[in-house]
Chain A
Amino acid sequence: MKGETGTSTEVFRTVVQDILDDHAGESWPLIAVLQEIQHRIGYIPPEVVPLVADRLGIFPGEIQGVITFYSQLRDRPQGRTVIRACRGTACHVSGGTTVLKALQGELGISEGESTADRQYSLETVACVGACGLAPNVIVDDDVFGTMTPAKVRKLIEKDGEPS
């Protein structure tokens, strides 16, 4: 499980203050700060945006603009396990679409969604550069190559065990 435990706004605020302190004096810190918030908390809680805006001297709306622009940044929590299907060219020509469909079928969600129990999120990613192993599926940070629908089933079964 990623991120800090506890969900109260107070905990978030302390974490965010720390991160902002770490980046004090840096040029153009916003994206790095947001990445770090997401890394620590798992997403960028909307309630911390005004705090960041205040410290960096920019409008909250601008921060929202940055969050929505970049596909990596998100303002709501993800599942405990994040599964990403690679949509690179090599993956496309070697059956990536079928693998993505298998993932959707197996998890019962579409791209960009999380399962109701918050166990899984499904995303796509633009090429992870492991084209020799296409088609690839990335589970959290691990790359699984030469995927097939059968392997997708196995992967999810294995991962589904309580951890």
Chain B
Amino acid sequence: MKTPHRVFVCHETPCVSLGAESVYSAFREEIDRLGLDHVSLEISGCHGHGLCSGGPSVVVEPSRFFYNGLRPEDASVIVREHLNHGRPVQHLFHRDAQTGKSVARYVDVDFYQSQERVALRNCGRINPESIEHYIDRAGYGALQLVLSTMTPDQTIDIIEESGLRGRGGAGFPTGRKWRFCRQSPGDQKYVVCNADEGNPGAFTDRSVLEGDPHAVVEGMIIAGYAMGASKGYVYVRAEYPLAVRRIRKAIKDARRRGFLGREILGADFDFDLRVKEGAGAFVCGEETALLQSIESERGMPRPRPPFPTDSGLNGKPTVINNVKTLSYVPVIVDRGAEWFRSLGTEESPGTAVFALAGDIRYSGLVEVPMGTSLSRIIELGGGIAGDRKVKAVHTGGPAGGSVPAHRLDTPVDYESLQELGSTMGSGGMMVLNEDACMVDIARFFMDFARSESCGKCAPCRLGTKQMVTILTRIAGCQGVERDLELMRDIAETMRVGSLCGLGQTCTNPVMATLEHFEEDYRAHIHEGVCPTGACDVELDGSHVRAAPY
């Protein structure tokens, strides 16, 4: 009898767009035609080696042979040769971009070797639409453990001891947030998963939802038990249709297996989940706006306090956590707080997941221990594309900042990035080469903030508009020296005066580029040229008005 084999065809957005579905059908056809009973064919999440642009990718278990860039006709060759005759097909293996050598096995890819897969533990290794696969990999074990052996307070203790901090950007200690909610009086409480991921250039939450949705579901049930909530909502942005479909299916399957519903696993605990789809508004990632949007209102933030842990959905105590934060919960329960703390740094335990993109050889997901340097992460991504040099690395999206090349030794953790005027954000990491103009980057993010500002508070509504006007004037080489001072001034007003994080932090990209790349601004102002030619703006009268002082 032949050894059982499993073929995983990545079915995440990039691979699907490169033809993963027809590759899957070609495998199906050939396996059926030859009647190979020892082969099971599965879809999977991202295999996570950051090779999205070389997809579709396929991994053959048990030896983890790794094929990439397949066309449908390649599938039948692999089925005949590899699966039927046990002869792996060398010319279809993934090829290392640097050495040009083919790499046979998944674990041999450098990108994969140095990674610590915790949040992404199951992505690419299970069929995300199969609850059985998740259970086979110890899924829902943590839930059983919690319900049968721990009190809610003990559950919160573990999360608190692990030092887990929110992965949605601000890094607030998760255990502490849960405890606030638990202690807040109220018979009805809610757990909300923030899967809005509106940050342009970040796709880590999408990958977890598409590749391992049950981890999020299990994390939410445990959170619900810990703070005494009986209802939860997953708020997913509508731009992620595949993620929406997978999380809906996961919830349905979990309900069918008794992990959701009444008296879960025989315990005196009821909990159920619903999905709410966003409708295209970045500001709805902000927690109070998100709650408004779940309640079918315009998603506009409100002042805090009261914090959602006291008054959230429906005015009831509510915990809002990011997708990745929740997906860490089951592993922390399984493997212990001590283990989680052994990864990462003292202040920022665990791992960080980044969506690596931009001028990098392999763009895709990386998961590394917190505290890993930016330069190491770039190395993992195969280095910068072409024979170029790194100019900057931008993390944190519209709320973040660009770290200059000479500071790439900076470790990624909440505090270190903040010191440089950037933030962890929710996982976008954009590598920029020398062709990037930092004025253009600053203007891009500010224009994004302007278009997404909800308009409720004046500092953000007016400030973003003025900032874009000034940045456009500078980009068009009509700026004047005092524009720089003016921008610093407006930024400070927005930081202290805006109602929510959008207005308070959207000036970070401007401030960080002013601090680290002032020469780019000066070249536009004093030499009248964009040093890299990246700025491409058409000025009209509204931009060239002189600064009002």
- Give chain A interface residues in 62-114, CB to chain B under 8 Å: 65-66, 69-73, 87-90, 92-94, 97
**How many residues belonging to B are interface residues under a CB distance threshold of 8 Å?**
55
Nearest chain A CB to B537's CB is how many angstroms away?
Answer: 10
Q: A130 touching B52 by the CB < 8 A rule?
A: yes
- Give chain A interface residues in 122-149, CB to chain B under 8 Å: 125-134, 141-146
Which chain B residue shows the least CB distance to A70? B279
Within 8 Å CB of B240, what residues of A?
A: 128-129
Of the candidates A35, A66, A70, A127, which one forms a contact with B201 in the assembled complex, judged by CB atoms under 8 Å apart? A127
Known A71-B280, A72-B279, A129-B240; contact A87-B436, beta-carbon cutoff 8 A: no
Within 8 Å CB of A133, what residues of B?
A: 14, 17-18, 52-53
Nearest chain A CB to B1's CB is how many angstroms away?
Answer: 40
Nearest chain B CB to A140's CB is how many angstroms away?
Answer: 11
Q: B200 touching A127 by the CB < 8 A rule?
A: yes
Q: A131 touching B203 by the CB < 8 A rule?
A: yes
Q: A131 touching B276 by the CB < 8 A rule?
A: no
Within 8 Å CB of B203, what residues of A?
A: 127, 129-131
Residue A11 at the chain B interface, CB threshold 8 Å: no
Known A127-B200, A128-B13, A129-B203; contact A69-B299, beta-carbon cutoff 8 A: yes
Residue A30 at the chain B interface, CB threshold 8 Å: yes
Q: B239 touching A146 by the CB < 8 A rule?
A: no
Q: A145 touching B14 by the CB < 8 A rule?
A: yes
Within 8 Å CB of A145, what residues of B?
A: 14, 17-18, 53
CA distance A92 to B241 in the complex (A): 23
Known A89-B357, A93-B436, A133-B17; contact A146-B53, beta-carbon cutoff 8 A: yes
Residue B332 at the chain A interface, CB threshold 8 Å: no
Residue B355 at the chain A interface, CB threshold 8 Å: yes
Within 8 Å CB of B299, what residues of A?
A: 69-70
Known A130-B203, A131-B201, A133-B52; contact A28-B298, beta-carbon cutoff 8 A: no
Known A28-B296, A71-B280, A93-B436; contact A131-B13, beta-carbon cutoff 8 A: no
Within 8 Å CB of B53, what residues of A?
A: 132-133, 145-146
Within 8 Å CB of A142, what residues of B?
A: 17
CA distance A69 to B279 in the complex (A): 9
CA distance A55 to B417 in the complex (A): 50
Q: B14 touching A89 by the CB < 8 A rule?
A: no
Interface residues in chain B, defined as those with a beta carbon under 8 Å from any beta carbon in chain A = 13-14, 16-18, 50-53, 197-203, 206, 238-241, 276-282, 293-299, 314, 355, 357-359, 363-364, 394, 397, 428, 430, 432, 436, 441, 444-445, 448, 452, 454, 536
Interface residues in chain A, defined as those with a beta carbon under 8 Å from any beta carbon in chain B = 27-32, 34-35, 65-66, 69-73, 87-90, 92-94, 97, 125-134, 141-146
